[in-house]
Structure 1
Amino acid sequence: MFNPLNKSYTEVINPFSDNNTYDVPTYIKPGTKVTVAIDSREQEISILAAYDYGIEALNEEGREQLNRLIADLKVAITGR
């Protein structure tokens, strides 16, 4: 499997790559608690249903609620 964070492997795959231009992203330390607000009761129900029954059990609205939560988490982790 190709790991873009491994600079030596990237050099083997792409000899034209410049290893000095890409740094491994460091957003937060592992184990750091990230706070995200739950927007609505529907989002809370979607999270619990996905945890209990799997993402496949959600309808389209439930998946949208879960996608919104994931987007909020991404912003909290990466800062953008």
Structure 2
Amino acid sequence: MDDGFERWVKAYGVTPANSPKRACELLGCGHDYFYKLVKLGKITIRKMGTKSVVTGENIYQVLRELPEADRAA
């Protein structure tokens, strides 16, 4: 990952394995949109025993792939 990833991890306290709830907080989205991203294959849920987790790298990748906002005012 790039230097931006390291800064993001430190700034937001991102862990290697984040709960879906924490992933929603980091992405700034709700539960429904989060699971839409899962269905689209943009978020991969992994299992640690019975616990569902999302990697910090995966969350960062989704944020980096978001389209830029239209700058026209």
- TM-score range for the pair, normalised by the shorter chain length: under 0.3
Give me the TM-score of the superposition, normalised by structure 1.
Answer: 0.23
Give me the TM-score of the superposition, normalised by structure 2.
Answer: 0.24
Which of structures 1 and 2 has the bigger CA Rg?
1
